[in-house]
A and B are shown apart, each in its own frame.
Chain A
């Protein structure tokens, strides 16, 4: 970031720099900044007649006036927070095992095994869960075979199925930062904790978790944002009643062709995700570049 320039010197400096910055500026302005400004402007207008628009807050008022919309909004946020917590609770012992218990080659192999499922498309992974959970699926048949159920059990199309899929899809983004932060914890600190009379619980609480805090924060933030913006998993595993906010955006845009209200919804989701990410960063005293970089 802060190396001095050795190649670009003298009179060509300014022009060369501008040339080098051109792709970046075009990319950021045309594809990121201006589209979001436009999205905001569209969300603040009302369609009067064909091709005629007027400034209005109607789209936002509609959102708060219609319980279905903001219920979905709150439900998506709460479910995302729950999924994030669950991912952390399941992923933490696994990360600790990879970072601290395993040694040598086995450690790398185990870490790689954690990563490989996530190179496979999310669609394929969700398809796998559908085959496992559906009425005629593997788990239902297994339960009948084992005598634990009398007839076929439908485990798809409910909130638990959505949760299983979301936690599965997010696991990588929790395990990677946790393993890297736990790797940097010196074993002798844990030994010292035991020498001073600690047990597994107090050592975890007073030494391991405080040390892992930056990893926990960045894992949680990334998982939360990905869950919030997910469309595929709630839609396929939750069925018609999944009520995820991204589905509302899709409905407004593609099905009802109401771009004004769809833009307002999109903006509200963006605000929710930014606010929670910002609060998370503040609480853990981290910066965005450290977290995703």
Chain B
């Protein structure tokens, strides 16, 4: 059970084997995706036909590598654009929310806090359709009232950004609030005593203290937006973000170019994940 209690060798071995098998289960799909990016075959499946880099750099039909697949590259661009705006918006609003919840008192605060947690428990598909229905109602109402057709309220990138922002903001709020809670308010008071204006105290004392949480929340927001599928599926228009484009290809059956793309995604998001872990860890010391 625990190291201080002697156990028969057999049980210890059995337990370690189980843990090892668990990690095989965790890593198997990811390893397989990565390995088949180098398979010289038209399908991401067995048998192994020898190594190739064509799925990265290839330029001859049907061996179109990811760096020459304009459709997929475009969708990466669309996703990056969406993720950028979701990150900027959700970190900004999340910071305001953190100050509101940690620093001020007002009636109904607890209720508001619970409502602001709710996007985490609403299934993404439902969040998507509710925003779709509501924005469509507004667009129809405006069109009937004054005759303007507001294109951005119809399915498209604007709605995708809004829909992802709706639930990512809850996460940035939680991350930034947790850091702000640890802040010693007397530091700010000292700055004010020493003649700083409120704005100067905020920008030279509080915001630098929050910086690790702001960066961490930004990375999480970017990744969540980049990888979101459920909400995006319901709000997407003609410009497909990466997850939607990959989903369509997967359904049709695709060449291993998807493996090459997935491998690149794994490297980038794994790197960002480690970065956010280290940024947050440094801030604890």
Given contacts A36-B130, A191-B4, A289-B113, contact A229 B230 (CB under 8 A): yes
- Does any Cβ of A come within 8 Å of B265's Cβ? yes
- Does any Cβ of A come within 8 Å of B273's Cβ? yes
- Does any Cβ of B come within 8 Å of A273's Cβ? yes
- Does any Cβ of A come within 8 Å of B212's Cβ? no
B4 x A1 contact (CB < 8 A): no
Interface members, chain B 89-143 (any A CB < 8 Å): 92-93, 96-97, 99-106, 109, 112-127, 129-135, 137
- Does any Cβ of A come within 8 Å of B13's Cβ? no
- Does any Cβ of B come within 8 Å of A49's Cβ? no
Write the nearest CB–CB distance from A248 to chain B, whole angstroms: 10
Q: CA A38 – CA B29 in complex, angstroms?
A: 41
Report B-chain residues with C-beta under 8 Å of the C-beta of A39: 126, 129-130, 133-134
Chain B interface residue bracket vs A: 35 or more
Instruction: Determine chain A's interface SS by DSSP, over half rule.
Output: helix
B185 x A119 contact (CB < 8 A): no
Interface members, chain B 181-204 (any A CB < 8 Å): 181, 185, 188-189, 198, 201-202
- Does any Cβ of A come within 8 Å of B45's Cβ? yes
- Does any Cβ of B come within 8 Å of A255's Cβ? no
Write the nearest CB–CB distance from B24 to chain A, whole angstroms: 11
- Does any Cβ of A come within 8 Å of B145's Cβ? no
B188 x A38 contact (CB < 8 A): no
Report A-chain residues with C-beta under 8 Å of the C-beta of B272: 119
Most buried by A among B165, B169, B258: B169
Write the nearest CB–CB distance from B196 to chain A, whole angstroms: 12
Output the nearest chain B residue to A93 by Cβ-Cβ distance: B18
- Does any Cβ of B come within 8 Å of A70's Cβ? no
Report B-chain residues with C-beta under 8 Å of the C-beta of A5: 103-105
Report B-chain residues with C-beta under 8 Å of the C-beta of A132: 28-29, 32
B229 x A231 contact (CB < 8 A): yes
Q: CA A35 – CA B233 in complex, angstroms?
A: 17
- Does any Cβ of A come within 8 Å of B26's Cβ? yes
Q: CA A2 – CA B181 in complex, angstroms?
A: 10
A131 x B100 contact (CB < 8 A): no
Given contacts A225-B123, A270-B123, A289-B117, contact A112 B277 (CB under 8 A): yes
Write the nearest CB–CB distance from A102 to chain B, whole angstroms: 9
- Does any Cβ of B come within 8 Å of A60's Cβ? no
- Does any Cβ of A come within 8 Å of B38's Cβ? no
A273 x B121 contact (CB < 8 A): yes
Report B-chain residues with C-beta under 8 Å of the C-beta of A225: 121, 123
- Does any Cβ of B come within 8 Å of A196's Cβ? no
Q: Which of B112, B250, B270 contacts A24 (CB 8 A)?
A: B112
B230 x A231 contact (CB < 8 A): yes
Q: Which of B46, B113, B277 contacts A137 (CB 8 A)?
A: B46
Q: CA A117 – CA B121 in complex, angstroms?
A: 22
Interface members, chain A 88-132 (any B CB < 8 Å): 90, 93-94, 97, 100-101, 103, 112-117, 119-132
Q: Which of A93, A124, A203, A262 contacts B30 (CB 8 A)?
A: A124
Work out how many contacts link A and B, with CB atoms closer than 8 A.
264
A interface footprint on B3-36 (CB within 8 Å = 1, 0 otherwise): 1110100010001001100110111111111001
Write the nearest CB–CB distance from A22 to chain B, whole angstroms: 8
Instruction: Determine chain B's interface SS by DSSP, over half rule.
Output: helix
B interface footprint on A187-225 (CB within 8 Å = 1, 0 otherwise): 100110010000010011000000000000000000001
B270 x A7 contact (CB < 8 A): no
Given contacts A31-B166, A229-B124, contact A125 B229 (CB under 8 A): no
Write the nearest CB–CB distance from B239 to chain A, whole angstroms: 16
B265 x A120 contact (CB < 8 A): yes
- Does any Cβ of B come within 8 Å of A78's Cβ? no
Given contacts A229-B125, A246-B123, contact A120 B30 (CB under 8 A): yes
Q: CA A125 – CA B202 in complex, angstroms?
A: 42
Write the nearest CB–CB distance from A238 to chain B, whole angstroms: 13
Write the nearest CB–CB distance from B113 to chain A, whole angstroms: 7
Report A-chain residues with C-beta under 8 Å of the C-beta of B121: 225, 273-274, 277, 288, 292
Report B-chain residues with C-beta under 8 Å of the C-beta of A231: 124-125, 229-230, 233
Q: Which of B2, B11, B99 contacts A187 (CB 8 A)?
A: B2
- Does any Cβ of A come within 8 Å of B221's Cβ? no
A232 x B230 contact (CB < 8 A): yes
Q: CA A140 – CA B47 in complex, angstroms?
A: 11
Q: CA A31 – CA B159 in complex, angstroms?
A: 10
- Does any Cβ of A come within 8 Å of B279's Cβ? no
- Does any Cβ of B come within 8 Å of A42's Cβ? yes
B101 x A253 contact (CB < 8 A): no
Output the nearest chain A residue to B258 by Cβ-Cβ distance: A127
B99 x A20 contact (CB < 8 A): yes
Write the nearest CB–CB distance from A124 to chain B, whole angstroms: 4
B33 x A93 contact (CB < 8 A): no
- Does any Cβ of B come within 8 Å of A74's Cβ? no
A3 x B123 contact (CB < 8 A): no
Most buried by A among B2, B4, B130, B137: B130
Q: CA A23 – CA B120 in complex, angstroms?
A: 18
Report A-chain residues with C-beta under 8 Å of the C-beta of B133: 35, 38-39, 42, 259, 263
A3 x B250 contact (CB < 8 A): no
Report A-chain residues with C-beta under 8 Å of the C-beta of B127: 32, 35
A-B contact pairs, 6 of them (CB 8 A): A17-B100, A32-B127, A97-B15, A119-B269, A123-B246, A200-B11
